Amino acid sequence: MPPPARVASPLLAQPRQAGSGLYTWWGFEVYQASLWVEPGFDAAALPRQRYALELHYRRDFKGRDIAQRSIDEMRRVGPISETQAQAWLQAMAAVFPDVSTGDRLTGVNLPGRGAQFYANGKPTGEIADPEFARLFFGIWLSEQTSAPRLRLALLGQSASAR
């Protein structure tokens, strides 16, 4: 499958899809997630890799709710102080727009720098904090994820994600 224009340069050089899967919550389809990687991608070295995680929403959500849920899930991946959680919540609320069915939010891991975000291919902002990026992308890609089947599907290690 060729990469869509929204994930190709300048986001990633020679992107390929590592995997994808559908995330459901209580039987409701929430989003289709896809992980786009560059040549030489190594899942064991995630923080040092440039990659893009795209969420294609199947439902409408407020950006503030996406940010709050992200903080809740990031806490599963690693400890976050309340001060840090509030700062990151505010930063995410600024870069995550409200989404409607069919919208796409994309986060790009910037090794050693943080994460860049896009909504439907347009930049919405950057959170310049490598620890934020590690915990944020860990929502989907860490072994502590609340969606282990989706993680395996994104990493191309399983065909089923629900």
**Percent of the chain predicted with pLDDT > 70:** 91
Domains and CATH numbers, the chain: 16-45+64-154 (3.50.70)
Q: Which two tokens stand for residue 156?
A: 């191309």
Per-residue pLDDT of 89-132, as tens digits, reads: 999 999 999 999 999 999 999 999 999 999 998 999 999 999 99
Q: CB neighbours of 86 closer than 8 A, spacing ≥ 6?
A: none
What percent of the chain has pLDDT above 90? 82
**Closest-CA residue to 118 (of 127, 107, 110, 132):** 107
Position 161 scores a pLDDT of 45
